[in-house]
Amino acid sequence: MLKMFKRVLCLATVFALLSTVSFASESVVFKGSTTVLPIIQEAVEAYMKANPNVRMSVSGGGSSEGIKGIIDSTTDIGMASRAIKKKESDLAKSKGVNPVEHVIAFDAIIPVVHPKNKVANLTIDQLSQIYQGNITNWKEVGGNDLKIVVISRDSSSGTFETWDHFVMKKTKVAQRAQMLASNGAVVTAVAKNRYSIAYIGIGYLNKNVKALSVNGVKGTAEAALSKEYPLARELYVYTNGEPKGETAKFIAFLKSKEGQKIVGKVGYVPMISLK
């Protein structure tokens, strides 16, 4: 029994070694925000199909991890859903690292309700109060006398992260809130429920749900790009210095029409018109 266990262990070690060796050939390491992750994952798949000899490894960890990876040079491309902080760029300078920022997409979150709901606009503060569980009836925000059913995304998702950043601002979502696992599930739930409110990435909007404007601004791709719409932000990747080699080619791919198509496909706002 013990002998067999040892053998299994040996085999595992060999495999582990083999995989590190193969990673050591030309490779690009990505790390960072889970909001940016879906874009990069899709883009990497497409890119590797076209360039099969390039090795790319992608992992999450959050924006801070991505920027940290750039600062300590363990990452080639750091993904971030926020700009680098003063503290971080100071730390980078002290280590002789020069983080360069590349905007690759926009992220816009749209609050949605059932199409029969007559509420058309909410302020960020109202949204926050609804999600904290302090406003519980639609009549308090100008709607019919109906209970509000709060639908949220799972707290580990990138969409939730954006919502938390703009609306909740670190206050807690009420425990009673339903937590659904995907944008698609949220749309289905809202389309079937006239009590509900939820939020989704702009790419998932369809006619089965009604988009609310926020602080009087309609959530459109144009309003997101001009930053007029309050629940929109830029998504970044960072590199150490101006990118070179495969890294530069990949970032160029991200910004190309093909790359921006992927951005739209995974539910974010492309930076260029695709028509």
CB atoms within 10 A of CB 105: 25
- The secondary element (H helix, E strand) that includes residue 149 is strand 149-153
> Is 169 an interacting residue with respect to other proteins (CB under 8 A)?
no
Nearer to other proteins, 11 or 103 (CB): 11
CA atoms of 141 and 116, how far apart (whole Å):
15
Residue 196 binds other proteins (CB under 8 A): yes
Binding status of residue 197 toward other proteins by CB under 8 A: no
39 binds other proteins (CB under 8 A): no
Q: How far out from the chain centre does Cα 218 lie?
A: 21
Distance of CA 49 to the CA centre of its chain: 23
Within 10 angstroms of residue 19's Cβ, the number of other Cβ atoms is 10
Please choose, from the candidates 114, 110, 109, the residue with its C-alpha nearest in 3D space to the C-alpha of residue 197: 114
Instruction: Report the residue number, 89 or 178, with the smaller CB distance to other proteins.
Output: 178
List of residues 6+ apart from 104 with CB closer than 8 A: 36, 39, 235, 236, 237, 251, 254, 255, 259, 263, 271
Query: Minimum distance from CB of 79 to other proteins (Å)?
Result: 13
Q: Which is nearer to other proteins, 104 or 173 (CB)?
A: 173
Please name the residues in contact with 114: beta carbons below 8 A apart, sequence gap of 6 or more.
190, 191, 193, 194, 195, 196, 209, 210
Decide if residue 175 touches other proteins (CB under 8 A).
yes
* Residue 195 binds other proteins, judged by CB under 8 A: yes
- Minimum distance from CB of 176 to other proteins (Å)? 5
**Cα separation of 239 and 78, whole Å?**
6
Structure-token match 């495999």, residue found: 15
Q: What character string, x for contact with other proteins (CB under 8 A) and - otherwise, covers 118-157?
A: -----------------------------x-x----xxxx
Q: Which stretch binds other proteins (CB under 8 A): 66-74, 120-128, 177-185, 235-243?
A: 177-185
| Interface with other proteins, residue 234, by CB under 8 A | no
Residue numbers 63-92 binding other proteins by CB under 8 A: 65
Q: List interacting residues with other proteins (CB under 8 A).
A: 1, 4-5, 8, 34, 59-62, 65, 147, 149, 154-158, 160, 170, 172, 175-181, 185, 188-189, 192-193, 195-196
